[in-house]
């Protein structure tokens, strides 16, 4: 079974330490507990890894950690909201009961706001004003009305409805793809990457992010709860890449998107090997 590429392990440890410091367990507080419950739960931290690898490729990851932490906090915020009874009504996430089933809906919603707020606060405190403004605007655009919020709204409203492939793709480019693109761009910005670097990395991440979602749909049908850490066969009322293209078609689409992602790395040559490895992992992942 394909597992995380070896280099992920180091990043995961470092990331968990940094996220722990970002939302410290300084005093007992129900919202803080709920934020940490989700933020520090076992996760691939793939968006943070994209930030760090993109920075590494553009000159060094020494300034990338706050952007990596902030994107993980935004992602964790979105997971809490996505799992609520009024959205996906999910019982399990990251191998644990979802935050609202443990802490209640009110605290879960406040924890999601808390994480989103801390993400932007962390950027503003960690970078000089110009870089903080650029990364904050980048993330705000990724979350907003052309990103996660828009994709989620269209997805929720399409429950039980027949939608076109074009609509399905637009939903998931916004719900999932946009945050991958923001991760790659943020990494490049923190390392002083050129416009050409950002263009190539955006093309890579855009395709990687959509592939990531196609595989997510596949895992809902072919995966297990133990592998994915979440309830499977949960997407029955939604049009997915699998309901549209079948298991084989969706797998082929994911592989094609990962090949396109890797092709976008050509200008970097062998320096982009790890991002290529990440694309291979995404195409074959079972977790
Ligand atoms: C205000 C932040 C905010 C969001 C509002 C709720 C919402 C809009 C958007 C939901 C977006 C969402 C949850 C998309 C699903 C993306 C996805 C494939 C999640 C699974 O990601 P993994 O596998 O999870 O990387 P881990 O647990 O490994 O981090």
pLDDT digits (tens, 9 = 90+) for 134-145: 999 999 999 999
From the CB of 79, is ligand 1 less than 6 Å away? yes
Collect contacts of 260-265 with beta carbons under 8 A, ≥24 apart. Answer: 260/207, 261/203, 261/204, 261/205, 261/206, 261/207, 261/208, 261/211, 262/204, 264/200, 264/201, 264/203, 264/204, 264/207, 265/200, 265/204
User: Is 148's C-beta closer than 6 angstroms to any atom of ligand 1?
Assistant: yes
Mean per-residue pLDDT over the chain, rounded: 95
DSSP summary character for residue 269: G
Asked if the structure places residue 2 within a domain, the reply is no
Per-residue pLDDT at 3: 65
d(Cα 31, Cα 210) in Å, to the nearest integer? 32
Q: What is the CATH number of the domain that holds 228?
A: 1.10.600.10
> What is the domain extent for residue 261?
8-284
Work out how many domains the chain is built from and give that number.
Answer: 1
Q: Inform me whether the pLDDT recorded for 2 exceeds 60.
A: no
Q: Ligand 1 center to residue 72 CA distance, Å?
A: 10
Query: 77 CB less than 6 Å from ligand 1?
Result: yes
Please check the confidence at residue 75 and state whether its pLDDT lies above 90: yes
Q: Is 245 in the pocket of ligand 1 (CB under 6 A)?
A: no
Q: Is the CB–ligand 1 distance for residue 81 below 6 Å?
A: yes
For every residue of 68-119, DSSP letters joined together read HHHHHHHHHHHHHHHHSTTTT--SEETTEE-HHHHH-HHHHHHHHHHHHHHH
In a domain, 1, yes or no: no
Q: pLDDT tens for residues 156-213?
A: 999 888 899 999 999 999 999 999 999 999 999 999 999 999 999 999 999 999 999 9
Query: Residue 62 CB: number of other CB atoms within 10 A?
Result: 10
What is the pLDDT, as a whole number, of residue 1? Answer: 37
Checking if the pLDDT of 4 tops 80, the result is no
Whether 185 maps to a domain, the answer reads: yes
Q: Tell which atom from ligand 1 comes closest to the C-alpha of 230.
A: 27
Q: Which atom of ligand 1 is nearest to the CA of 76?
A: 29
Cα separation, 103 vs 106, in Å, equals: 8
Residue 245 is assigned to a structural domain of this protein: yes
**Percent of the chain at pLDDT exceeding 70:** 99
Residue 206 lies in a domain: yes
Q: How many Å lie between the centroid of ligand 1 and the Cα of residue 270?
A: 31
Average pLDDT rounded to a whole number, residues 92-119: 97
Confidence of residue 7 (pLDDT cuts 50, 70, 90): confident
- Ligand 1 atom, smallest distance to 82 CA: 6
Residue 186 falls within a domain, yes or no? yes
């Amino acid at each position: 079974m394909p597992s995380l590429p070896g280099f992920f392990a180091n990043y995961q440890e470092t990331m968990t330490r940094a996220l722990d410091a970002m939302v410290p367990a300084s005093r007992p507080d129900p919202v803080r507990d709920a934020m940490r419950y989700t933020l520090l739960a076992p996760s691939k931290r793939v968006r943070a890894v994209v930030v760090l690898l993109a920075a590494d490729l553009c000159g060094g990851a020494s300034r990338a950690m706050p952007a990596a932490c902030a994107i993980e906090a935004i992602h964790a915020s979105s997971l809490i909201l996505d799992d609520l009874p009024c959205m996906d009504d999910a019982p399990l996430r990251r191998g644990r009961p979802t935050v609202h089933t443990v802490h209640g809906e009110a605290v879960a919603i406040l924890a999601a706001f808390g994480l989103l707020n801390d993400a932007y606060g962390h950027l503003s405190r960690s970078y000089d004003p110009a870089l903080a403004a650029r990364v904050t605007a980048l993330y705000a655009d990724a979350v907003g009305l052309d990103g996660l919020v828009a994709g989620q709204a269209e997805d929720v409203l399409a429950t039980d409805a027949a939608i076109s492939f074009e609509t399905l793709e637009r939903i998931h480019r916004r719900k999932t793809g946009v945050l991958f693109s923001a991760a790659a761009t943020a990494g490049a910005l923190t390392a002083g990457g050129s416009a050409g670097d950002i263009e190539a990395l955006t093309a890579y991440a855009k395709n990687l992010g959509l592939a990531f979602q196609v595989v997510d749909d596949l895992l809902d049908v072919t995966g297990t709860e133990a592998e994915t850490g979440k309830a499977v066969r949960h997407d029955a009322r939604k049009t997915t890449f699998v309901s549209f293209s079948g298991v084989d078609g969706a797998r082929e689409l994911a592989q094609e998107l990962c090949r396109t992602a890797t092709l976008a790395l050509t200008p970097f040559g062998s320096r982009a090997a790890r991002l290529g490895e990440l694309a291979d992992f995404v195409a074959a992942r079972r977790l």
